[in-house]
Structure 1
Amino acid sequence: MAFRVGVSHDFVSSDHPTSWGDIGLDRLAAEGIAWEFLPPDNGVLTAEHVAGFDAVVFGTPTVTAATVSGSTPPRLLARFGVGLDAVDVDACTRAGVAVTNTPDGARRAVATAALTLILATFHRLVDKNALARRPAWDGRLDLIGQGLTGRTVGAVGLGNIASELFALMAPFATVNLAHDPYRDPREARARGVELTGLEDLFTRSDVVVVTAALTAQTRHLVNAGLLALMRPRAVLVNVSRGPIVDTAALTEALAAGRLFGAGLDVTDPEPLPVGHPLLVLPNVVLAPHALAWTDEMARGNGASVVQAIIDVRQGRAPRYLADRAVLDHPRLRERVTA
């Protein structure tokens, strides 16, 4: 029986295999799996978009309950990326639609982006880049930065990204802390990480890196109270989701000089409106929620979604399921072995 795969329209490119370049879709053809691009979606996948496909690969579109409300929704929605805050996972589970993401593909790329923001902020790269473009380099000594070696780095969340980041920082001999209520302290210690309370983490860290997922519990988790606990020369880095950090509170702390700086790949809102103070503060390094977007991430995410598709076609449960309860749904139970 033919197995059809749809790829959301944000992947369409006029001069590359996809908008992300080569993401390894040739492997689907080698497995005898046909795929095609979906029509434009206006930011939301509809039931009509996904009807009749066995699996759909998607990047930026939102997935709602309406997406999977048709009579023939896919068995798999494979997110090209990690965040699932724009996906109604509960509705998909009720409809018997498995949802996967790609933490294995994004792990190294996002961790590298976090390290890039730490170093760029510590070394005052934005200020020094601006100075280097001027006719005279007066004032270089006014831009003395900070070294990372021996500093204390705290991660909000100890998942794939934070674990990879700590591994990347090994040559800097950092002291590694994390706050994650779902992690076993023994497992963390085996990775060279001390689990601690959130307030203790913000008090002790020279760098706080936000890597936790955005949920109702983590929205504005990093608030004025926690920011007030940070050391005067500390740095906040966010590579997760903007709303985890209270933007107004962070802006106030940075403008008042209570922090050394911030490195933000994500903000709230996105993009920041014209005239927002974060756009002009000299101690802020900004990226457009794309610092990790590299050929390395494209290949990694692509390999992950392709493997999920092949697993489902061959009757295996894909590795990175958002909700394993979906395997109990009749639509999947008859085709996929847990």
Structure 2
Amino acid sequence: MAFKVLLTDYEFENLKYEEDVFKESGLDIEFVKAQCKTEDEVAEQAKHADAILNQYAPISRRVIESLENAKVISRYGVGVNTIDIDAANEKGITVANVPDYGMEEVSNHALALLLSWARKVTLLNNEVKRGNWDFKACVPIHRFNNQTVGVLGFGRIPRRFIEKVKPLGFKLAAYDPFVSAEDMASAGVKKMELDEIIREADYLSVHVPLIKDTYHLLNADRFSQMKKNAVIINTARGPIIDEKALIEALENGIIAGAALDVAEEEPISIDSPLFHMDNVIITPHSAWYSEEAMVELRQKAAKNIVQVLKGEKTPYALT
């Protein structure tokens, strides 16, 4: 039996890893590559597909309801906000992601942003290159053991991040309504409620998924409750932070700074005030990246499809 697998969109130079997985599967797979941008384009291309591999193209309820043969939708990455999971579940279509491919990379990147801010490495680098050879450009810097790193979320990535931060001497706290205080304590972390961690954190690292309840989780009201020296680190999803409110908080000295790998709209507009702030570090949604992580991501996303088409259950199924 032949299966049609549609790749809705991609930004890789080639599709070697996906093609190798399909070739080695023993299945008769027709691998169709597209570059869909809109719901209409996805619906047209995917209507008769048995499986869908997705990067950024929208797979909405309308798209899913138009699918005639689809058994699985596999997404490159951890987040599945491009896919209407409820609609897929109602239609009996498996949705799968790759939640563990970038665990080391994202936790490392968050750590790098934390250390760059805590020792003001980026600021000092910029000052020296402007001709200012003076440590006073970074005043004040405080010892790590006098500061609290707060973590929003306590899944795979934040736990790994915490393991890496712990030896540095910071006090550690986390917010996650689905994890017990005992579980956190066993990792050397104090469990806090959201309002408490907002008030107490000197550095607040964001590691929650983007869902309805976390959209603009960090907003003007919450910025107003934070310490004036607080710094926000976001390697999760941009819309978790109300970017307009963040800019106002930074401009008005309500919080001290931000280190962002993600934004509400990517790429960030060159006209954004964030580009002109010395108290903001920006990287281009690169926290997930290493050569090894990219290979793992692509292979596992393709393997999700193979397993479902073979009648097996992928360990990364969300529905």
Q: State if a TM-score over 0.5 links the two structures.
A: yes
d(CA) in 2 for partners of 1:259, 1:165: 23
Q: Note if contact 1:105-1:303 (Cα within 8 Å) is conserved in structure 2.
A: no
d(CA) in 1 for partners of 2:260, 2:222: 17
Report the Cα offset of residue 190 of structure 1: 2.5
Cα gap change, 1:139 to 1:161, in 2 (>3 Å): same
After superposition, what is the alpha-carbon deviation per residue over 1:268-293, rounded to whole angstroms, capped at 9, x for unaligned? 23333343221211100012223323
Whether 1:10 aligns to 2:10 is yes
**Which structure 2 residue ranges, 5 or more long, are not aligned?**
none
The amino acid of 1:122's aligned partner reads A
Report the Cα offset of residue 197 of structure 1: 0.7
The amino acid of 1:242's aligned partner reads G
What is the total number of aligned residue pairs between the two structures?
316
The amino acid of 1:204's aligned partner reads E
The amino acid of 1:32's aligned partner reads G
Whether 1:322 aligns to 2:311 is no
Whether 1:32 aligns to 2:16 is no
Of 12, 29, 41, 2:36 maps to: 41
> What is the TM-score normalised by the length of structure 2?
0.88
After superposition, what is the alpha-carbon deviation per residue over 1:41-68, rounded to whole angstroms, capped at 9, x for unaligned? 1244523322443322211111112322
Q: In the alignment, what sits opposite 2:298?
A: 302
Q: Note if contact 2:7-2:34 (Cα within 8 Å) is conserved in structure 1.
A: no
Of 246, 267, 283, 1:271 maps to: 267
After superposition, what is the alpha-carbon deviation per residue over 1:295-323, rounded to whole angstroms, capped at 9, x for unaligned? 23212312321332232133222222223
Report the Cα offset of residue 111 of structure 1: 1.6
d(CA) in 1 for partners of 2:143, 2:176: 23
Q: Note if contact 1:149-1:172 (Cα within 8 Å) is conserved in structure 2.
A: yes
Whether 1:159 aligns to 2:155 is yes
d(CA) in 2 for partners of 1:164, 1:148: 22
d(CA) in 2 for partners of 1:320, 1:262: 32
Alignment of 1:42-61 (within 5 A): 42-44=37-39, 46-61=42-57
d(CA) in 2 for partners of 1:8, 1:118: 36
Q: In the alignment, what sits opposite 1:130?
A: 126
Which has the higher mean CA deviation after the structures are superposed, 81-90 or 262-271? 262-271
Q: Note if contact 2:46-2:67 (Cα within 8 Å) is conserved in structure 1.
A: no
d(CA) in 2 for partners of 1:312, 1:147: 52
Q: Note if contact 1:23-1:301 (Cα within 8 Å) is conserved in structure 2.
A: no
Cα gap change, 1:23 to 1:126, in 2 (>3 Å): farther
d(CA) in 1 for partners of 2:47, 2:142: 54
CA RMSD of aligned residues (A): 2.4
Cα gap change, 1:247 to 1:302, in 2 (>3 Å): same
Percent of aligned pairs with the same amino acid: 26
Q: In the alignment, what sits opposite 2:257?
A: 261
**Which structure 1 residue ranges, 5 or more long, are not aligned?**
324-338
